[in-house]
Structure 1
Amino acid sequence: MGATQSSPAETSIHQFAVKDTSGKEVDLGIYKGKVLLVVNVASKCGFTDRNYTELTELYNKYKGKDFEILAFPCNQFLRQEPGTDQEIKEFACTRFKAEYPIFQKVRVNGPNTAPVYKFLKTSKSGFLGSRIKWNFTKFLVGKEGEVIARYGTSTAPLSIEKDIKKALGEV
């Protein structure tokens, strides 16, 4: 569902391929040299407005500085992302002016977890161990594809701006 299979040898997010909202495979190696903020998004969550608004603000501020946001819709938390991939993309792009990539809906927990999320969770565990607790969990990934930090749902995107600047070498 939205990602290809992985082996346990991955050491970089750049070793994965995922599918965009039109079903086209995207090699995450194209993001080598960029700082990434990877987020599991949902359109019908209490955290939606703040997160999407601040993600768009961060993106607009840093997109020209080797920074990219990768959004992965997920419907695992109270079915708060029920739309089709196209509906999800349209929602984010129209309502929140999202210009960053939005990929196919994925599973972030359980036996069918997308391989890229297995990698992220194994690299940085959180409050519930490796399990994703809720929508809008964020992973900051360095230019070489290594996971630098993990942030929970209640961490506002703008509050991690200092970490983004540090990863970009601006501090």
Structure 2
Amino acid sequence: MSKSLICSSLVLSSTWKAVESLRAWPRRSGAYRDLHPLWYAIYQVVPSIALAPPRRPERPRRAWFGADSRLYRRFVEIGDGLLMLGDLDEQLIDQVRRRAEAEGWEPERARAAGEAAAVLGAIERRRQGGSAESGRSPQLEKPTDLGTHADLDADARRLGMISAALDTDVVRQGAALRSA
């Protein structure tokens, strides 16, 4: 009897983990694809961030298997790239954030737009031969341990907003004003 209880508890716990992974897959796979514009923008100036260089870096891949580990790896690559780019311009973040809020953006999304503009500014500084400014780390939240799924999802949401904001007029105009 005790052997059957032990075996059934092992089977149930393994099954529950598989069900949990299947339920989270669409969200994590989508977050992985959402981060591609930010990752690719950084990858173009700092290709050494890719742990395994992709054959076609300009196209986002689908995370069919291992969405959690691919998403975490993408966080690490983005974080490494941001560290290599150096400090983000706080004045630019604030300027673009205020402009986005004036256009009716929600505060969280406006902050992401400011950070996206600062990332573009740091990328442009790097393209022009500038080096990373030392000092404190970029203000983006660092990836956390894979075991805390709430944090993984929160980081994905935050970096996804920054990634989505890269292609907006507010961000491009803000970054262009700073680099001019």
Whether TM exceeds 0.5 here: the answer is no
* The structure with more strand, counted as a fraction of residues: 1
Larger radius of gyration between Structure 1 and Structure 2: 2
Higher relative contact order (CA 8 A, sep 6+): 1
* The structure with more helix, counted as a fraction of residues: 2
